[in-house]
Amino acid sequence: MAQLDEEGGVPLYVQLRNMLQEKIASGELGAYAQLPTEAELAHEYSIARTTVRRALGEMVQRGLLYRKPGRGTFVRPREVPLRLRRSVSFSQDMRAKGMTPGAHLVSAGVIPAEEALAAALSVPVGAALVRIVRLRLADGRPVLINDLCLLSKDCPGLETNPDLRKEQSSVYQIITRDYGLRIEEMKGFIQPVLAGKHEAKLLEIAPGSPIFRTEVTGTNPEGRPVIHAVDLIRGDWAFDISSA
């Protein structure tokens, strides 16, 4: 019987979520595979059903799983890949459309890298990352939630940079100007998901509304991963993903 480490300092729901993510990544749980019920997972891992529910809920929000009412929870199929030859700046895109870009800082701080982020950025688990979450606006209207992670050693003190709180600031401009970071390529995927309560409140839409989720990792000219970004975009918003 699988066991989780109750004394390791990592919340049990995070451990379960990471285990399930590894099974999906390895192919042990393939596309459209049905997961055991909450009760079955709780019994298998000797944890409370509320812990299982939280782990599965986060995986649904991240677009890894989807639920069918009355039938269960299933693995979402692989996403449509994106490969962009340059960084797509929201601010530049909005100005090109004749709109005024804006930003509202939701949170900024230093976090330890969990397995998925560590793998994406090619760093050890627990490495210090700067995480910045911002709500991006176009002519004052909320358009997307931007969740960025960078290596703290690449941009020390970024989380306290006062420019992050300026309404028309660009993180890409800040890291290029202040830290000399250049992003040569962005590679990742895009998929449709449903908005949870938190995302819906920020985006001013109804919970359960269709939104787009993009997840990309950016590399510098030497090919080293330097940034990981997840965007949750309103489903009624048209955005540019061209590479030219």
The answer to whether the beta carbons of residues 35 and 72 sit under 8 Å apart is yes
Amino acid at 139: D
Give domain status of residue 109, yes or no: yes
Give yes or no for residue 106 having a pLDDT over 60: yes
Q: Does 105 lie in the same domain as 155?
A: yes
CATH number for 40: 1.10.10.10
Query: Do 43 and 143 share a domain, yes or no?
Result: no
First to last CA, the chain: 52
User: Which class for 242: exposed (0-12), middle (13-18), buried (19 or more C-beta within 10 A)?
Assistant: exposed
Residue 239, domain member (yes or no): no
15 C-beta neighbours (distance < 10 Å), count: 19
Long-range contact set of residues 190-198: C-beta below 8 Å, sequence gap at least 24: 190/79, 190/80, 190/82, 190/214, 190/241, 191/63, 191/76, 191/79, 191/80, 192/235, 193/61, 193/63, 193/232, 195/232, 196/61
What single DSSP character describes residue 126? T
User: Is residue 58's pLDDT more than 90?
Assistant: no
pLDDT value of position 192: 81
CA distance 56 to 48: 13
What gap in Å lies between CA 116 and CA 10, rounded to an integer? Answer: 15
pTM assigned to the model: 0.64
Q: What's the chain's average pLDDT?
A: 85
**Higher-scoring residue by pLDDT: 189, 198:** 198
Spatial distance between the Cα atoms of 113 and 121, rounded to a whole number of angstroms? 9
Residue 243 located in a structural domain: no
Q: Which pLDDT tens digit goes with each residue over 204-242?
A: 999 888 888 888 899 999 999 999 999 998 887 765 555
6 in a structural domain: no
**What does the alpha-carbon distance between residue 165 and residue 173 come to, in Å, rounded to a whole number?**
14
Q: Is the pLDDT of residue 85 over 70?
A: no
Number of domains in the chain: 2
DSSP 202-221: HHTS-TT-EEEEEEEEEE-T
Are 71 and 88 contained in the same domain?
no
pLDDT in the model for residue 244: 42
pLDDT at 86 > cutoff 80: no
Share of the chain above pLDDT 90, in %: 39
In this structure, of 125-129, 173-177, 240-244, the range with the lowest mean pLDDT score is 240-244
Residue 2: inside a domain, yes or no?
Answer: no
* 57/75 Cα distance (integer angstroms): 13
Could you tell me if 101 and 135 lie in one domain? yes
| Residue 188: domain span | 81-234
What whole-number distance in Å separates Cα of residue 53 and Cα of residue 39? Answer: 10
Tell whether the model's pLDDT for residue 198 goes beyond 60.
Answer: yes
Q: Residue 56 — very low, low, confident or very high, per pLDDT cuts 50/70/90?
A: very high
Q: Cα(22)–Cα(14) distance, rounded to whole angstroms?
A: 12
Boundary-marking domain end, from 58, 75, 92: 75
